[in-house]
Amino acid sequence: MPQPSTRNTFNGFALTWRMPIIVWQVLFFVGPLLFMVAMSFFLVKNYRMVEAFEFKNWEKMLTRGYFWDSYALTFILATLSTIVASVLAFPASFALAFKVSPVVRRWALFLLIIPFFTSYLVRIFSWYVILAESGVVNSILAQIGLGPYTMLNTMFGTLVGYMTLTLPLVVVLQTFALANIDRNLVQAAHNLGCSPIRAIYTVIMPLAKTGLIVAALFCFILSFGDFVSPYYLGGSKPPTLPILIIDTTKSGQQWPRAAVVAVVMMLTLITIAFASLALAYRKRASR
């Protein structure tokens, strides 16, 4: 009997159901991204953009020290934010995954999601009041003879804002990753003589590697592209790349040069994302 063909055939029904996400991606991601790339080659004459294909904007931005200073600052702050958020989130995620009942875990995850129901800008302004030299933190420290300390318009203020944005999300993602670990494997490690700390490093973290890396990736992406925290809590000096985009557009309507900065940011994030996902889903070599 002839064997049925294994070739891929056109499936109109499946394509119909995929069309909404395809159209959404084209309209709201691919299309604007291509336009932004094209705009980076435009010129500004008499405060008006003129269609062209010139590399002057790229040359102008990539040969300036202030651009690379902003790039390095943004990358360092995003990396530091990712490390701090991942380290702070892991104990809470571990407790929610292994030490509490499913009911408590569900309520905790719900409470972690609640901050996203409010405006991020409002939460940042609340920190502005708390961290001010006459704010809540310095008032408490003054009671024990410390301070006042300058926490606004500093890297510390920026990191506090980044934690406000990313820490709840990192805890949620890490908790999902840890909660899906097979408890029998952890118990087997304990039966074989693993201490609790060693079991975490040799069993739990490798099994949850994908979720932990994805959580860190989301933290890096959100921190790298955030404008609000470095502007309102960090003082915007020196500027990060998002602030540099705003400053560039205000300087003679230089939208093409701002597009160069945005394209560089997108290329950086795409590179980091693919590298992180490759690491997350890479299988360990068999011994």
- Closest to 213 measured CA to CA, from 94, 86, 97, 78: 86
The predicted structure's pLDDT at residue 286:
42
The predicted structure's pLDDT at residue 273:
96
* Range 145-148 contact pairs with CB under 8 angstroms and sequence separation of 24 or more: none
Contact of 49 with 38, CB cutoff 8 Å: no
Higher pLDDT, 171 or 9: 171
In terms of DSSP H, where are the helices of the chain? Answer: 12-25, 31-39, 56-62, 65-98, 102-113, 120-131, 136-142, 155-179, 183-191, 196-199, 205-207, 209-224, 228-232, 241-250, 255-280
- Closest to 51 measured CA to CA, from 264, 262, 255: 255
The predicted structure's pLDDT at residue 285:
47
**Share of residues in the chain with pLDDT > 90 (%):** 64
Six token digits for residue 16: 């119909």
pLDDT at 208 over 90: yes
DSSP 282: P
In this prediction, residue 284 has a pLDDT band, given cuts at 50, 70 and 90, of low
The average confidence (pLDDT) of the chain is 90
- Closest to 238 measured CA to CA, from 10, 67, 27: 67
Rounded Cα gap, residues 285 and 271, in angstroms: 24
Six token digits for residue 148: 């006042």
SS3 29: helix
Q: Is the pTM of this model over 0.85?
A: yes
The predicted structure's pLDDT at residue 164:
95
Q: What is the pLDDT of residues 226-238, one digit of tens each?
A: 999 999 999 888 9
pLDDT at 2 over 60: no
In this prediction, residue 287 has a pLDDT band, given cuts at 50, 70 and 90, of very low
Six token digits for residue 201: 């490093």
- For 260, phi then psi, to 5°, come to -60, -45
pLDDT at 129 over 50: yes
Six token digits for residue 176: 């999902």
Q: What is the pLDDT of residues 11-54, one digit of tens each?
A: 777 778 878 888 888 888 888 899 999 999 999 888 788 888 88
In this prediction, residue 10 has a pLDDT band, given cuts at 50, 70 and 90, of low
- Closest to 172 measured CA to CA, from 124, 116, 108: 108
Average pLDDT score over residue span 220-228: 96
- Domains of the chain with bracketed CATH: 54-280 (1.10.3720.10)
Q: At what angle do helices 31-39 and 255-280 cross, to 10 degrees?
A: 130
Contact of 159 with 80, CB cutoff 8 Å: yes
